[in-house]
Amino acid sequence: MNTLLKGKTILIMGVANKWSIAWGIAEACLDAGANLIFTYQGERNLSNLQKLTADLPNISLYKCDVTEDQDIIDLFHNIGNDYGTIHGIVHSIAFAKKEELEGAYYNTSREGYHLAQDISAYSLVAVSRHARPLMKDGGSILTLTYIGAERAVQNYNVMGVAKSALESSVRYLAADLGPENIRVNSISAGPIKTLAAQGVKGFGSILKVYEEKVPLRRAVTQREVGDTAVFLLSHMSRGITGENIHVDAGFHAMGLL
Ligand code: NAP
């Protein structure tokens, strides 16, 4: 337990189940004393989220499919009415069609390209725009990315390109929102076995490389990402914006493995 986020209201977007990175972040935020608000994409995940949060005090759940502008508008309108001010946002959302996450990148369809960009990168822009009026005391916006944005990672394909756009968006949003003391950063997480990750062909063999070759000789956990998220959401990181922090057991520091 710590008090790094005591008195702060944090919106968490992207909990599908207890394996989600967003859930690891939520647990770390709770241990740091935060008040949490969650979104869910559709009814399918509502019951998961209701079960996960059943024992937590003062939790609110709002629907938000980030492909729907009206959902994003309604989300921040309702949070504004219910809470007035928020201090942080965790954007832990991405999607690409399974068939685009294998084989050659040049086979990416126009529709698949647009879909991956829309959900995985543009959504951060729209969310930041509508969240801004509620971050009256300044704030911290955080998103999740992967090394496939910086390097060509086999099978990551269209998602790697979407993550590059996301990381670039972090820098532009940081420039826009910095004067309002709203910081925008990303965490580049190592591979973690989640629903989304299992859509990438050959995901299991990536985990094996981690165990054998990266500096810490293991994969990272949701909770390790969560602890870095608490740092980025808290006063402790007040001088950091437009940054990408690798929580990947040191993989990014290595040459070709
Ligand atoms: P996850 O548990 O499957 O979470 C992905 C979330 O995105 C789900 O809650 C999903 O909701 C949501 N989502 C997809 N489309 C959406 C939409 N249109 N509107 C609203 N929400 C939508 O997988 P995860 O691995 O924790 O992924 C979280 C983030 O971490 C992603 O950005 C991912 O790229 C990133 N990341 C993951 C890894 C890894 O190895 N796992 C590594 C680095 C970065 P539904 O379930 O309802 O579709």
- State the average pLDDT over residues 126-135: 98
Q: What is the pLDDT of residue 254?
A: 96
pTM comes to: 0.98
Question: Cα(167)–Cα(188) distance, rounded to whole angstroms?
Answer: 9
Q: Which two tokens stand for residue 151?
A: 């390097």
Mean pLDDT of the residues in the chain: 97
CA 26 to chain centroid: 11
Tell me the C-alpha distance between 196 and 198, whole Å. Answer: 5
Instruction: Tell me which amino acid residue 142 is.
Output: L
The third-level CATH classification (topology) of the domain covering 9-248 is Rossmann fold (3.40.50)
Of the pLDDT bands very low, low, confident and very high (cuts 50, 70, 90), residue 149 is very high
Ligand 1 probe mutation, 21, 25, 50, 122, most atoms within 8 A of CB: 21
Flag whether pLDDT at 102 surpasses 90.
yes
Label residue 111 by pLDDT band (50, 70, 90): very high
Per-residue pLDDT tens for 64-97? 999 999 999 999 999 999 999 999 999 999 999 9
- The CA distances from residue 186 to 59, 107, 227, 228, in Å, are 25, 28, 13, 10
Q: Which of 181, 135, 160 is nearest to 8 (CA)?
A: 135
206, 197 contact by CB (below 8 A):
no
Expressed in angstroms, the distance from the first to the final Cα of the chain is 37
Residue 124 host element (H or E): helix 123-131
Q: How far from 257 is each of 105, 214, 253, CA to CA, in Å? A: 21, 8, 11
Nearest CA to ligand 1 atom 48: 41
Compute, in degrees rounded to 10, the torsion defined by CA atoms 151, 191, 224, 118.
Answer: 70
**pLDDT mean over 25-34:** 98
Across 120-136, average pLDDT: 98
Distance 195 CA to ligand 1 centre (A): 8
Nearest to 186 by CA among 233, 154, 223, 139: 233
What pLDDT shows up at residue 43?
87
What integer pLDDT is reported at residue 257 of this predicted model?
A: 79
User: Ligand 1 centre and the CA of 48: distance in Å?
Assistant: 14
pLDDT in tens, 222-240: 999 999 999 999 999 999 9
* Ligand 1, CB cutoff 6 Å, lining residues: 14-16, 20-22, 41-42, 44-45, 65-67, 92-95, 119, 144-146, 189, 191-192, 194-197
Task: List the residue whose alpha carbon is closest to atom 28 of ligand 1.
Answer: 92
Tokens of 205: 């063999």
Catalytic positions, please? Answer: 146, 156
Best mutation site among 23, 66, 118, 144 for ligand 1 pocket (most ligand atoms within 8 Å of CB): 144
pLDDT of residue 82: 98
- Cα–Cα distance, 21 to 254 (Å, whole number): 24
pLDDT at 45: 82
**pLDDT at residue 218 is higher than 90:** yes
Give me the residue spans of the domains in the chain: 9-248
pLDDT above 90 for 171? yes
